[in-house]
Amino acid sequence: MIYLTSITFPSEDSEINFIWGIQRKCYDSFYPFKVLSARGLNKIDFEPVTILYGGNGSGKSTALNIIAEKTKINRDSIFNKSNFYLDYINMCKIDIQSNIPENSRIITSDDVFDYMLNVRSLNEGIDQKRENIFEEYLDAKYSQFQLKSIADYDELKKVNNARSKTQSKFVRSNLMNNVREYSNGESAFRYFTEKIGENGLYILDEPENSLSPKRQMELKSFIEDSVRFFGCQFIISTHSPFLLAMQGAKIYDLDKTPAEIRQWTELDNVCIYREFFKVHDDEF
């Protein structure tokens, strides 16, 4: 499924005219101006899976954030903006084939890490409350409480409840279960499968972070199935050879100037992996 057909970024001339039109000289950065034009990236034509490939500083994340802001899809984590970000967004143009579904979103590494930290923090809070309930149980069970007025009725119920139950049953009845903690890779993979639903445009910024090679291959299959069976479109930035090998993916190589559409087997990272394993082939 294709919702977003293309995005056109401001030309280098348009950027120069905009910058020259600003009379204030107190700015030393006009980000995101000059980032994508420096790579010769003027337009992206999207397929059901479109991948932006390139080294650090090549503009992958910048392009994804611009696309997300221009399409106004959901995001959880904040990201760095400049004084001229909105000006740049307004100069971009998008073509839409179908209305972009409301459940569409951008997912970044910050989102995944925040999710893992939230689970840990929640469990730490539950563990602390468990210790408090242990103390509450002992205080109630062995207290010398006597009912003196109707105002003491709730305390009486607590005492009777403690005396009628074992410590473990008392705690379980007054405390939610811990959220199960998985490994970082398992948690990251679960986050993607929970956030990616049917019929949506999903922008993924280096989703391989925290994922083992096995999990990367599982994510690759999940994305391919989401495209084939569930009407999703993906725009992804990645270094992962597993994700780069995704079936039918259109890959923009931002390490080239101007940026080129290339096959995954032609990319520098993939070739480095290939040569490394060829050198060590006799060790397998």
Of 72, 70, 60, 71, the C-alpha closest to 109 is: 60
What SS3 state is found at 176? coil
pLDDT: which is higher, 156 or 245: 245
CATH class of domain segment(s) 4-109+183-283: alpha beta
Q: What local confidence, expressed as pLDDT, does residue 220 receive?
A: 95
Paired strand residues for 147: none
Name the band, by pLDDT with cuts 50, 70 and 90, for residue 107.
Answer: very high
What SS3 state is found at 52? strand
Cα–Cα distance measured from residue 117 to residue 247, given in angstroms and rounded to the nearest whole number = 33
pTM listed for this prediction = 0.77
Q: What local confidence, expressed as pLDDT, does residue 118 receive?
A: 65
Q: What local confidence, expressed as pLDDT, does residue 178 receive?
A: 43
**What is the distance of C-alpha 5 from the center of its chain?**
22
Can you state the percent helix, strand and coil of the chain, rounding each to 5? 50, 15, 40
Cα–Cα distance measured from residue 55 to residue 253, given in angstroms and rounded to the nearest whole number = 9
Q: What is the pLDDT of residues 109-137, one digit of tens each?
A: 888 777 766 665 555 544 555 555 555 55
Cis-peptide into 258, omega within 30 deg: yes
247-265 average pLDDT score? 94
Supply 199's token pair. 């019929």
Is the Cβ–Cβ distance between 110 and 14 less than 8 Å? no
Cα–Cα distance measured from residue 242 to residue 235, given in angstroms and rounded to the nearest whole number = 15
DSSP per residue, 206-228: STTTT--HHHHHHHHHHHHHHHH
Name the band, by pLDDT with cuts 50, 70 and 90, for residue 151.
Answer: low
**R_g (Cα) of the chain, nearest Å:** 27
Q: What is the pLDDT of residues 191-232, one digit of tens each?
A: 888 899 999 999 999 999 888 899 999 999 999 999 999 999
Cα–Cα distance measured from residue 247 to residue 250, given in angstroms and rounded to the nearest whole number = 9
57-79 average pLDDT score? 90
Q: What local confidence, expressed as pLDDT, does residue 24 receive?
A: 56
Cα–Cα distance measured from residue 169 to residue 156, given in angstroms and rounded to the nearest whole number = 18
Cα–Cα distance measured from residue 128 to residue 105, given in angstroms and rounded to the nearest whole number = 35
- Is residue 254 predicted with pLDDT exceeding 60? yes
DSSP per residue, 24-39: ----S--TTTTTSGGG
Strongest mean pLDDT among 34-43, 64-73, 172-181: 64-73
17-25 average pLDDT score? 70
Structural domain boundaries in the chain = 4-109+183-283, 112-173
Cα–Cα distance measured from residue 204 to residue 136, given in angstroms and rounded to the nearest whole number = 47
Average pLDDT over the chain reads: 81
